[in-house]
C-alpha cells in the first residue's frame, strides 16, 4: 500500500502535542497538508478551511479531525464526500446521532471512518481487559480528577454547549472502563456540578451498572490541584486491580503487573493505517452514549463560578 497522505484539520494543542509526533513515528503515513484557522505548519500546504483544502488539488488520502467536537460532523462529511478516509479525535462528535450518517457515508464510499479513543491505547488497558475477561468482579471505582487550568489553559470552547466540560477528560475514563469490563454498562444516576457562569459541568458523579448487577462508581473533577488522579480500581475475587496513570500502570494488591511508556497516539495511527489497508472502519460510541445519558439523567447542581 502506498504511503497515506494525511491532512490535519485543526492544528491546535492536541495536534501539536500528539498527532504530529505520532504521525512522524508511524510508517506508511505522513502529513501532506493542514487546514486550520489559527496555525500553519512549515513544509506543507496550509489552508484556512477544509473546503479550501479539498478544492485546492493538493493530493491527500485521509483527514484527521482535531477540532473541537462542535461542527465536526460537517467537516467529516465534507472529507468523506471528497473520497478521504477520516480519523475523528475524541469525542467523535457533539452528539450521538450525528455519527450514524457518517458511518453510512463511509460505508457507501468504501472509506475508513475511525472514531478514536486514545486512552484505550494506553499500554496497560489490554492486559487489564485480559485479566478481567473471566474474573469475578465485585465492584469498580473510578477517580478521574485533574486541573483544567493546566490541561486546557484559556480554552473557552470546553465551557460552551457541546464542549462537554469535565466529561472531556472523563470520557477517557469511560472509554477504558467500557473496554476492560466484560459486559455492557448503563448509567443509573448522575449528579453534575455546573459553575454558575458556565454551560458545561466542572465535576460529575456517576453510577453505572450492568445486567449482572455490577456497580461502577465514577468521580470526575476539574478542580484538582497538586497530584492528578486518573485511576480505576477493580475489586475482584483474585485481588484488587488498579489501573493508574490514565492506563499506563497496572497492579494487583500493590504488585506491579504492567508498566510501559505512553504510546497512545502512535498506536492510534498504526491502527488507522491498518484499518485503511483492510478497508475497514471502527466506530464505538459507548463512551459518548454514557456521557449523553449522564446529561439526560443527571441532577444539575450550581456551584461556584469558574474564572481562569
List pLDDT tens digits, range 181-227: 999 999 999 999 999 999 999 999 999 999 999 999 999 999 999 99
Average pLDDT over residues 140-162: 95
- Cβ–Cβ under 8 Å, residues 26 and 87: no
| Domain with 104 in it | 4-115
User: Strand, helix or coil at 100?
Assistant: helix
Q: What is the CATH number of the domain that holds 242?
A: 3.30.360.10
Separation of alpha carbons 60 and 189, rounded Å: 45
Exposure string (b/e) for 188-214, b if CB count within 10 Å is 16 or more?
Answer: eebbbbbbeebebbbbbbbebebeeeb
The C-alpha cell that represents 260 in the structure block: 510501559
Domain stops at, among 115, 140, 169: 115
Tell me what pLDDT residue 231 has: 98
Domain stops at, among 66, 94, 115: 115
Whether 155 and 205 share a structural domain: yes
Tell me what pLDDT residue 262 has: 87
Tell me what pLDDT residue 71 has: 92
Is residue 270 assigned to a domain? no
Is residue 28 assigned to a domain? yes
Mean pLDDT value across the chain: 96
Domain stops at, among 115, 143, 176: 115
Whether 51 and 80 share a structural domain: yes
Domain count, the chain: 2
Among residues 13, 84, 90, 145, the one annotated as catalytic is: 90
Confidence of residue 166 (pLDDT cuts 50, 70, 90): very high
pLDDT tens digit sequence for 13-43: 899 999 999 999 999 999 999 999 988 999 9
Tell me what pLDDT residue 38 has: 86
Is residue 284 assigned to a domain? no
Whether 202 and 225 share a structural domain: yes
Q: What angle do CA 293, 296, 302 make, to 5 degrees?
A: 120
User: Strand, helix or coil at 240?
Assistant: strand
Whether 132 and 256 share a structural domain: yes
Whether 100 and 177 share a structural domain: no
CB atoms closer than 10 angstroms to residue 166: 24
Considering the chain, what percentage of its residues have pLDDT values greater than 90? Answer: 97
Confidence of residue 146 (pLDDT cuts 50, 70, 90): very high
Whether 104 and 200 share a structural domain: no
Confidence of residue 172 (pLDDT cuts 50, 70, 90): very high
Give this prediction's pTM: 0.95
Active site residue 90: yes
Is residue 185 assigned to a domain? yes
User: Strand, helix or coil at 256?
Assistant: strand
Is residue 42 assigned to a domain? yes
Whether 111 and 146 share a structural domain: no
Tell me what pLDDT residue 51 has: 97
What pairing do the DSSP bridges indicate for beta strands 4-9 and 62-65?
parallel
Is residue 272 assigned to a domain? no
User: In this model, does residue 1 exceed pLDDT 80?
Assistant: no
Considering the chain, what percentage of its residues have pLDDT values greater than 70? Answer: 100
Tell me what pLDDT residue 39 has: 87
Whether 142 and 102 share a structural domain: no
Whether 95 and 128 share a structural domain: no
Amino acid at each position: 500500500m502506498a504511503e497515506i497522505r494525511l491532512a490535519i484539520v485543526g492544528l491546535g494543542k492536541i495536534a501539536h502535542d500528539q498527532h504530529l509526533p505520532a504521525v512522524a513515528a508511524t510508517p506508511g503515513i505522513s502529513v501532506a497538508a493542514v487546514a486550520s484557522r489559527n496555525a500553519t505548519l512549515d513544509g506543507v500546504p496550509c489552508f484556512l478551511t477544509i473546503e479550501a483544502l479539498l478544492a485546492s488539488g493538493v493530493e491527500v488520502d485521509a483527514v484527521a479531525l482535531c477540532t473541537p467536537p462542535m461542527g465536526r460532523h460537517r467537516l467529516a462529511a465534507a472529507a468523506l464526500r471528497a473520497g478521504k478516509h477520516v480519523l475523528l479525535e475524541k469525542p467523535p462528535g457533539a452528539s450521538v446521532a450525528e455519527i450514524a450518517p457518517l458511518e453510512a457515508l463511509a460505508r457507501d464510499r468504501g472509506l475508513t471512518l475511525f472514531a478514536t479513543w486514545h486512552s484505550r491505547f494506553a499500554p496497560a488497558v489490554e492486559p487489564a481487559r485480559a485479566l478481567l475477561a473471566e474474573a469475578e468482579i465485585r465492584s469498580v471505582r473510578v477517580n478521574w480528577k485533574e486541573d483544567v487550568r493546566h490541561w486546557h489553559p484559556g480554552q473557552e470552547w470546553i465551557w460552551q454547549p457541546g464542549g462537554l466540560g469535565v466529561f472531556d477528560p472523563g470520557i477517557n475514563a469511560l472509554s477504558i472502563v467500557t473496554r476492560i469490563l466484560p459486559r455492557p454498562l448503563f448509567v443509573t444516576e448522575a449528579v453534575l456540578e455546573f459553575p454558575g457562569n458556565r454551560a458545561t459541568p466542572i465535576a460529575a458523579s456517576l453510577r453505572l451498572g450492568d445486567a449482572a448487577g455490577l456497580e461502577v462508581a465514577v468521580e470526575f473533577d476539574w478542580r484538582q490541584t497538586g497530584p492528578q488522579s486518573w485511576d480505576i480500581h477493580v475489586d475482584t475475587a483474585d485481588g484488587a486491580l488498579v489501573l493508574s496513570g490514565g492506563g499506563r500502570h497496572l497492579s494487583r494488591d500493590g504488585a506491579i503487573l504492567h508498566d510501559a511508556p505512553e504510546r497512545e497516539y502512535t498506536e492510534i495511527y498504526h491502527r488507522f493505517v491498518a484499518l485503511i489497508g483492510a478497508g475497514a472502519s471502527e466506530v464505538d460510541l459507548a463512551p459518548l452514549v454514557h456521557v449523553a445519558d449522564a446529561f439526560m439523567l443527571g441532577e444539575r447542581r450550581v456551584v461556584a463560578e469558574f474564572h481562569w
